[in-house]
Amino acid sequence: MAAVNHHSPLDPDVIRRDFPIFERDFGGRRLAYLDSAATALKPRAVIEAVDAYNSRYSANVHRGIYTIGEEATAAYEGAREKVARFLGAPDSREIIFVRNATEAINLVAYAWGRRNIGRADTILLTELEHHANLVPWQLLAQEKDADLEFVPFDAEGHLIMDSWEVLLRTRPRLVAFTHKSNGLGTLLPARQMVQQAHDVGALVLVDGAQAVPHLPVDVADIGADFYVFSGHKVLGPTGSGALWARAEILEAMPPFMSGGEMISSVHLRHTTFNDIPHKFEAGTPDVAAAIGLGAAVDYLSAIGMERVAEHEEALTAYALEMLPREVPGIRIHGPRTAAERAGIVTFTLPEAHPHDIATLLDREAVAIRAGHHCTQPLHERLALPATGRASFSVYSGRDDIDRLAAGLRGVQRIFGGPA
């Protein structure tokens, strides 16, 4: 792994040496990957951890009374401990491995929601939410005849806190919000919002999919009841992710998926369930992905999430300052300052649709996201059918943003905008 100096800013050139994808030639160029919000690139340490499992000890977990079975179990449960520490969770039994944040939220909606949400109960969400933290609650509300309420956001992408406080008076059973908006980059005041929600008797689920990869997260400090994230966005393999929830809540919940592994004793007509976390991990898990996630957590911990946050804030500040200067007419949506929105820059050009922009940038080996980023309601509120989104990670640098600017000027030339 690249040398790490805990006191210096990240050097993307050095970090990129850890990521084999940057060795690939894209028409004579290195990939300028600006879609880490969709998924992150993978460091060698993660790839090798997955390979090692598959090559040297690819046994099932929790069962084999032979060497590689025990090695697999140790690595899998070891990854669980790593994730717990990474999130500041007091107890690793509170970490449930899932495929992604979407699955984690569905688990809560299904296992907790069906038991605890009833007719005329209110679920309070925001208009910023990713579809993963919206659709499961819609389905639950329809099924249970419950109500959904939404905290709106202002022209700069901040939650309107007055509305938030008014809506809390509906005494929702559950409050669910994104820690950091994947659409606009807005950082929500999670700790404060959790406190306020608890004050009116609500349980709180926080969607950390965009937060965990980019800033230090301490679930104990935030105080939520459920916290979810996707491992593949934290430099881990696709198929990795976790739900953290308080042990007492998990213990009271009925299972999500059922079958093997999550049971204690099984008879023909009744079954007792396993303790947490295993109660919520039915069947053979994605062992390789979990082990890879453990390696990703190690990699990021060695860098230090404070440094990652500083790095991304600096990059965001650079982008917010230079893009309007270099790309005349560009509109950047969301919070004005980097401190309020680290890591994500969502924009539109007057002369070209984001799809066309993305296609042309691809010619320059610059990868951005174009569309609505799984936030159709947010885009409807902005009255924008689609936007372009550039998002950063540890391997992103000013040179990537420079290439984005140059690419955007090229788009403007082709579409006949300002020279």
Partner 1 sequence: MDDLYRDEILEHYRQPHNFGTLDAPDAVYEGNNPLCGDRITMMLSVGADGTVHDVAFSGRGCAISQASASLLTDEVKGRPLSDVEALTNQDILDLLGIDISPARLKCALLSLDTLHHALRDRAAASAARAGDQARAGDQAGAGDQAAGAPA
Residue 379 binds partner 1, judged by CB under 8 A: yes
Of the ranges 69-77, 141-149, 222-230, 381-389, which one interacts with partner 1 (CB under 8 A)? 381-389
CA atoms within 13 A on the CB side of 96: 33
Residue 322 binds partner 1, judged by CB under 8 A: no
Residue 352 binds partner 1, judged by CB under 8 A: yes
Least distance from partner 1 to the Cβ atom of residue 330, Å: 17
Residue 385 binds partner 1, judged by CB under 8 A: yes
- Please name the amino acid found at residue 280: F
> Whole-angstrom Cα distance, residue 341 to residue 334?
8
Q: Cβ closer to partner 1: 6 or 416?
A: 416
Residue 167 binds partner 1, judged by CB under 8 A: no
Residue 386 binds partner 1, judged by CB under 8 A: yes
Task: Please select the residue that binds partner 1; options are 1, 74, 339, 414, rule is CB under 8 A.
Answer: 414
Catalytically annotated residue among 132, 287, 374, 394: 374
- Please name the amino acid found at residue 267: H
Q: What are φ and ψ of residue 209, in 5° steps?
A: -55, -35
Sign of the alpha-carbon dihedral angle for 280, 141, 188, 394: positive
Q: Cβ closer to partner 1: 344 or 352?
A: 352
Task: Please select the residue that binds partner 1; options are 7, 27, 269, 416, rule is CB under 8 A.
Answer: 416
Binding-residue total with partner 1 (CB under 8 A): 18
Q: Cβ closer to partner 1: 266 or 414?
A: 414
Least distance from partner 1 to the Cβ atom of residue 384, Å: 8
Decide if 68 contacts 57 (C-beta within 8 A). Answer: yes
Task: Please select the residue that binds partner 1; options are 58, 67, 142, 359, rule is CB under 8 A.
Answer: 359
> Whole-angstrom Cα distance, residue 363 to residue 413?
15
Least distance from partner 1 to the Cβ atom of residue 356, Å: 5
Task: Please select the residue that binds partner 1; options are 355, 398, 399, 418, rule is CB under 8 A.
Answer: 355
Least distance from partner 1 to the Cβ atom of residue 388, Å: 12
Least distance from partner 1 to the Cβ atom of residue 361, Å: 12
Least distance from partner 1 to the Cβ atom of residue 351, Å: 9
Residue 305 exposed, middle or buried by CB count within 10 Å (0-12, 13-18, 19+): middle
Decide if 120 contacts 147 (C-beta within 8 A). Answer: yes
- The answer to whether residue 117 is catalytic is no
Least distance from partner 1 to the Cβ atom of residue 129, Å: 17
Of the ranges 167-175, 216-224, 318-326, 355-363, which one interacts with partner 1 (CB under 8 A)? 355-363
Task: Please select the residue that binds partner 1; options are 26, 150, 318, 415, rule is CB under 8 A.
Answer: 415
CA 251 to chain centre: 25
Residue 372 binds partner 1, judged by CB under 8 A: yes
Q: Cβ closer to partner 1: 78 or 371?
A: 371
Contacts with partner 1, residue ranges (CB under 8 A): 352-356, 359-360, 370-372, 376, 379, 384-386, 414-416
Q: What amino acid positions are annotated as catalytic residues? A: 374
